[in-house]
Amino acid sequence: MQDLIRKLLVDLGEDPSREGLLDTPKRVEKAYKFLTSGYHADIDRVLNNALFTVDYSEMVIVKDIDFYSLCEHHLLPFFGKCHVAYIPSTKVIGLSKIPRLVDVFARRLQVQERLTNQIADTIRDKIAPLGVAVVMEATHLCMSMRGVEKQNSFAVTSAMHGAFRTSSRTRMEFLELIKLRSAVPGLREAGGYACLADE
């Protein structure tokens, strides 16, 4: 990877042998490996010993989880907050594991919509809850830094399964708790669009 970065620096019109850039290929490689470490993470290992059988069926919410990801169209960051809720049927996930789960999928090349779905689908598949909802709000630097004016650089995406999809009352309770009434399925317009990869 370091050779590629050196080549990139030359193509950008830089001199990779000047002092400030000497160690840049090494640093960039290290940074990219960390930012894409989710490819090598094992979900079952992340959740290991943190799935508990309980007699509890109230909504569990973890909100304002910070996340940082890379737009797969431009390799530029998008970042913001993730809110997760589920209604257990027989199992719960240890609360500290939810942000870890978000990181596993965020530390890959992503589009915000797929990232949102992967988090929701994984919770659904691992503990079969009565419902699961994930809402993500993010700023896309590929939009804001490049001055793309025709779309908003702030995007809201959501994925809802089970009770959050079938019951508007459950959905509204969740959205009220995260103070985001506009984020209902199919209503991405409320927060603009994520990167559309058109240029």
Catalytic residues: 71-74, 112, 140, 142
Per CB under 5 A, does 138 bind Zn ion?
no
Between 71 and 156, whose beta carbon lies closer to Zn ion? 71
Between 28 and 148, whose beta carbon lies closer to Zn ion? 148
Q: Is 176 exposed, middle or buried (0-12, 13-18, 19+ CB in 10 A)?
A: exposed
DSSP symbol at 198 = -
The interface with Zn ion within residues 146-185 (CB under 5 A) comprises none
Query: 4 is written with which tokens?
Result: 């590629």
Helix runs in 38-190, H state only: 43-46, 97-106, 112-127, 141-144, 163-166, 168-177
Part of the chain binding Zn ion (CB under 5 A), chosen from 18-26, 97-105, 142-150, 160-168: 142-150
Q: Closest approach of Cβ 107 to Zn ion, in Å?
A: 17
Measured CA to CA, the distance from residue 39 to residue 104 in angstroms comes to: 8
CB 152 within 8 A of CB 192: yes
Residue window 70-109: x/- pattern of binding to Zn ion, with contact defined by CB under 5 A: -x-xx-----------------------------------
Instruction: Please report, as ranges, the residues that interact with Zn ion according to CB under 5 A.
Output: 71, 73-74, 142, 195
